[in-house]
């Protein structure tokens, strides 16, 4: 026996025994969680592809909500439907302990899918008065499948935790209205108010990875709807008219100076015009033109500056043409999600242990918006995090100079790789909840 080596080995064992338990294994149930998610994946795959092929738009998620409700009842949850029009609330009590909310969103988008997948959506719905294709091009089907996976995992591991689960299927996230609808319908009065809340979102990262941060992780969102009024007439006699198309065109260009000349360049802010509608034929100047867009920001100060700037430029554009003041509906959108630093810190250790430090990293806030903030702003510490959906090789190629870009959320070509994406998301959510509720 080599006594010096024995003493060294003993010292190493002693040092390891003195390390905090969390540092040794932050996610003690990671193996069990992974095994259970692997075993249930055939079920999750079937549910996912069914949801993907049958999407429904905001506040029309009747079939979707019914499917989620039925699956949650099979797992033993007490389920209430039609909360906030089409929302689902599933509650499972397992002794004294914290209450944890886990949210999934349910709605698709009014656009045509172009992925060519064998389970691609060909569903249609009436949106804004006209028929449109519908697809889950933002990954809400991934969210729902992993939500079910986390719920089943937690049920199977009931002996390992104490507390109350409140799993909610939220409608109308895409129009930033579903969370408010559920709260207005008594979500935190009719059901247990959570001590913490979690939600996840698929993102064009490599599957197997998890991204997160504390502080703001999404943007404020404000709608911009303006009707510029003029005086219609013949296109050959513009002097007899007040041309609202010219007014709208001036506004679209000039409003960008609010971003480039008034906003602090170090602060995030965007004004995007996504729709201009007016006129019927080429030789008639119309009476009015409608302009619609979106305003995004992180800080309340920038948000206020942009909303005020949009209003001012719109009024000035009309005044320059001697036109009546425009009709405006600007502002009133959703607030940025601000993650709890304490909750993120606790969960970060779990994610790094479960997925590896290279696959669980902090990432910048997204510029898109989310109404999960409505729940957090009710005084509930929350964590909103991201999970990857693409082959790591494809992501690496896209990041190379001149590499082929990958489809972003809301692209008609957005096509997550189902199995690794759903498994990682289900495992991550299960572990995050267990970290709060574990005995």
Predicted pLDDT of residue 4:
42
Within the chain, what is the greatest distance between any pair of CA atoms?
Answer: 106
β 220-229/382-390 pair status = unpaired
CB 90 within 8 A of CB 152: no
As a whole number of angstroms, the distance between CA 383 and CA 340 comes to: 6
* 265 — pLDDT class (breaks 50, 70, 90): very high
Q: pLDDT tens-digit profile of 286-308? A: 999 999 999 999 999 999 999 99
As a whole number of angstroms, the distance between CA 15 and CA 17 comes to: 5
119: exposed, middle or buried (C-beta count within 10 Å: 0-12, 13-18, 19+)?
middle
Q: pLDDT tens-digit profile of 3-37? A: 443 444 433 333 333 334 444 578 899 999 999 99
Q: pLDDT tens-digit profile of 65-104? A: 999 999 999 999 999 999 999 999 999 999 999 999 999 9
Q: What is the per-residue DSSP string for 247-259?
A: HHHHHHHHTHHII
As a whole number of angstroms, the distance between CA 407 and CA 115 comes to: 10
CB 259 within 8 A of CB 236: no
CB 113 within 8 A of CB 133: yes
This prediction's pTM: 0.88
The residue whose two tokens read 């697809």 is 135
CB 188 within 8 A of CB 301: no
If you average pLDDT over every residue of the chain, what do you get?
94
Query: Residue 161 carries which DSSP code?
Result: B
């Amino acid at each position: 026996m080599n006594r010096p080596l024995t003493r060294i080995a003993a010292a190493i064992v002693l040092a390891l025994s003195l390390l905090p338990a969390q540092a040794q294994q932050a996610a003690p149930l990671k193996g069990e969680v992974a095994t259970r998610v692997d075993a249930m994946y055939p079920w999750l795959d079937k549910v996912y592809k069914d949801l993907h092929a049958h999407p429904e738009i905001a506040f029309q998620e009747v079939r979707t909500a019914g499917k989620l409700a039925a699956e949650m009842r099979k797992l033993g949850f007490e389920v209430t439907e039609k909360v906030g029009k089409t929302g689902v609330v599933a509650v499972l009590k397992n002794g004294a302990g914290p209450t944890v909310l886990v949210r999934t969103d349910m709605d698709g988008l009014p656009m045509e899918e172009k992925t060519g997948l064998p389970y691609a959506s060909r569903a249609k719905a009436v949106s804004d008065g006209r028929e449109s294709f519908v697809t889950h091009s933002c990954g809400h089907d991934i969210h729902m499948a992993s939500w079910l996976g986390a719920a089943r995992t937690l049920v199977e591991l009931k002996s390992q935790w104490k507390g109350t689960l409140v799993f909610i299927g939220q409608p109308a996230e895409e129009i930033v209205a579903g969370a408010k609808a559920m709260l207005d319908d008594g979500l935190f009065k009719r059901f247990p108010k959570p001590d913490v809340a979690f939600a996840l979102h698929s993102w064009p990262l490599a599957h197997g990875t998890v991204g997160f941060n504390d502080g703001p992780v999404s943007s404020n969102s404000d709608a911009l709807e303006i009707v510029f009024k003029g005086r219609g007439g013949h296109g050959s006699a513009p002097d007899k008219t007040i041309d609202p198309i010219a007014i709208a065109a001036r506004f679209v260009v000039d409003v960008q100076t609010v971003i480039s000349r008034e906003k602090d360049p170090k602060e995030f802010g965007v004004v995007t015009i996504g729709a201009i509608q007016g006129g019927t034929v080429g030789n008639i100047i119309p009476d009015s033109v409608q302009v619609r867009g979106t305003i995004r920001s992180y800080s309340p100060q920038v948000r206020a500056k942009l909303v005020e700037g949009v209003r001012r430029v719109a009024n000035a554009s009309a005044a320059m043409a001697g036109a009546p003041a425009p009709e405006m509906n600007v502002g009133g959108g959703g607030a940025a999600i601000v993650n709890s630093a304490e909750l993120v810190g606790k969960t970060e250790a779990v994610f790094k242990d479960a997925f590896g430090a290279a696959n669980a990293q902090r990432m910048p806030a997204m510029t898109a918006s989310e109404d999960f903030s409505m729940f957090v702003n009710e005084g509930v510490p929350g964590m909103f995090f991201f999970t990857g959906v693409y082959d790591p090789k494809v992501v690496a190629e896209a990041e190379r100079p001149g590499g082929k870009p990958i489809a972003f959320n809301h692209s008609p070509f957005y096509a997550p790789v189902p199995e690794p994406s759903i498994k990682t998301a289900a495992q991550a959510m299960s572990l995050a909840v267990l970290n709060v509720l574990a005995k």
